[in-house]
Amino acid sequence: MSGGKKTWRMFLVYLVCILIAVATLFPIYWMFVISARSRLEVFLGPRLIQTSFYAPNYYRPFVQDVYGRYLVNSLLIASGNTLLVVCLAVLATYAFSRFRVPGSNNLFFWTITNRMAPPAVFIVPFFLMFTRLGLRDSQFGLILLYCIFNLPFAIWLLKGMMDGIPKELDEAALIDGCSLWGLLWHVIIPLAKPGIMVTAILNWIFAWNEYLFAAILTSVRSRTITTGLAEFVTVIGTNWGEMAAVSVVCLIPAIVFIGIAQRHIIAGLTFGAVKD
C-alpha cells in the first residue's frame, strides 16, 4: 500500500514538472512557429504544427536591414558591461570582506539602495547628463550606465561568496610571501570562480534584456536589438514573422553563454550558503 502511494506521489511530481516545463517552453516554441511563417500564413489561423519554413524572416532583417548591427551592439554592450562590472565587483567585495574599512557596513548598504530605486526615476537626469557629456547614442555610455544598476547587485551577490572563503587561507598565503594582489589573483578568485561566473551570467542577461534606457538614450548608431524589435510595429501593421524571427535570434547568444557556464551555476548559487 505504501509502495502504491509512493508511486502515485512520484507520478504527480513528474506530472507537475512536465506541466511546468510545457507552460515555460510553449511560448518559445510558438515564437519559433510564428517566425517560420509568411505574413499570409500568420493570419490563416492557429496551427500548432508548422510544416514549412519561411527563410526570409531570418535573413531579411539581418542582411537587408540594420538588425545585424543592432545584434553586434547588444553583444558589445552586454559583454563590455559584464566585464567591467565583474572586475569592479571582485575588487569591491575583496575590500569589504578582507579589510576593516570604517563604516563598511553602511557603505555596503548604501550600494544596495542604488538598486532599490525604480529605473524610471533616473530617465530625465541621465538624458540631460548624457546629452551634455556627448554620451547619447554611444555604446560606451550604455556600458557605464548599466554599471550603476548592475554593480550593486553584483557586489551584493559576491559579498556572501567572498565571506565564505576561510581567512586562514589568506594568512597562509601571506606567510608564504604572497602579496595582496597575488592573494586576490591566486587564492580568492580561483575559489570564488563559481560565484563570479554566476554573477557574470546574471549581469550579462540584465544588460542584454534592458530596454528602457536603451530605447531613450540611443537612436541609430548604438541601438540594441531588444529596442529594435519595436520597429516592427508600424502604423500600417505589425510584421509578426520577422519580429518573431529576430526574437528567436535574441535567445541564441543567451543560451550559448549560459550553456558554456552552466556547470558553475549550481556551485555558485550554493557557495557560501552553509557555514560551519
The residue written with cell numbers 528602457 in the block is 212
pLDDT given for residue 273 in this prediction? 45
C-alpha cell at position 237: 501593421
Report if residue 160 sits inside a domain: yes
Number of domains composing the chain: 2
Q: Which of 48-62, 94-108, 224-238 has the lowest mean pLDDT?
A: 94-108
Residue among 192, 187, 161 nearest 272 (CA): 161
Q: Output the pTM of the full model.
A: 0.84
**Do both 157 and 100 map to the same domain?**
yes
Domain containing 23: what range?
2-35
260 pLDDT band, cuts 50/70/90, is: confident
pLDDT given for residue 2 in this prediction? 59
pLDDT given for residue 235 in this prediction? 78
Q: Which residues pair with 265 in a beta bridge?
A: none
Q: Which residues of 79-102 are buried (b: 16+ CB within 10 A; e: fewer)?
A: bbbbebbbeebbebbbebbbeeee
**Do both 202 and 169 map to the same domain?**
yes
pLDDT above 60 (res 274):
no
pLDDT given for residue 263 in this prediction? 67
**Do both 153 and 20 map to the same domain?**
no
Q: How much is the average pLDDT of 250-259?
A: 84
**Do both 20 and 109 map to the same domain?**
no
pLDDT given for residue 11 in this prediction? 86
pLDDT above 70 (res 40):
yes
**Do both 11 and 133 map to the same domain?**
no
**Do both 94 and 21 map to the same domain?**
no
Report if residue 95 sits inside a domain: yes
Beta carbons of 229 and 245 less than 8 angstroms apart: no
pLDDT given for residue 84 in this prediction? 94
270 pLDDT band, cuts 50/70/90, is: low
* pLDDT tens-place string over residues 137-181: 889 999 999 998 899 889 888 887 887 888 788 778 888 778 878
**Do both 66 and 25 map to the same domain?**
no
**Do both 213 and 266 map to the same domain?**
yes
pLDDT above 60 (res 275):
no
pLDDT above 70 (res 267):
no
* pLDDT tens-place string over residues 112-145: 777 777 888 888 889 999 989 888 888 999 999 9
For CA atoms 70, 74, 75, 77, the dihedral sign is positive
Q: What share of the chain is helix, strand, coil (3-state, %, to 5)?
A: 80, 0, 20
76 pLDDT band, cuts 50/70/90, is: very high
pLDDT above 70 (res 77):
yes
* pLDDT tens-place string over residues 207-249: 999 998 999 998 888 899 989 888 888 878 788 888 999 999 9
Pick the residue with more confidence: 222 or 105? 222
pLDDT given for residue 48 in this prediction? 79
Q: Which residues of 27-63 are buried (b: 16+ CB within 10 A; e: fewer)?
A: eeeebebbbbbeeebbeeeeeeebeeebeebbeebbe
Pick the residue with more confidence: 270 or 126? 126
Q: What is the mean pLDDT of the chain?
A: 83
Report if residue 124 sits inside a domain: yes
**Do both 6 and 127 map to the same domain?**
no
**Do both 219 and 159 map to the same domain?**
yes
Residue among 259, 242, 274, 253 nearest 37 (CA): 242
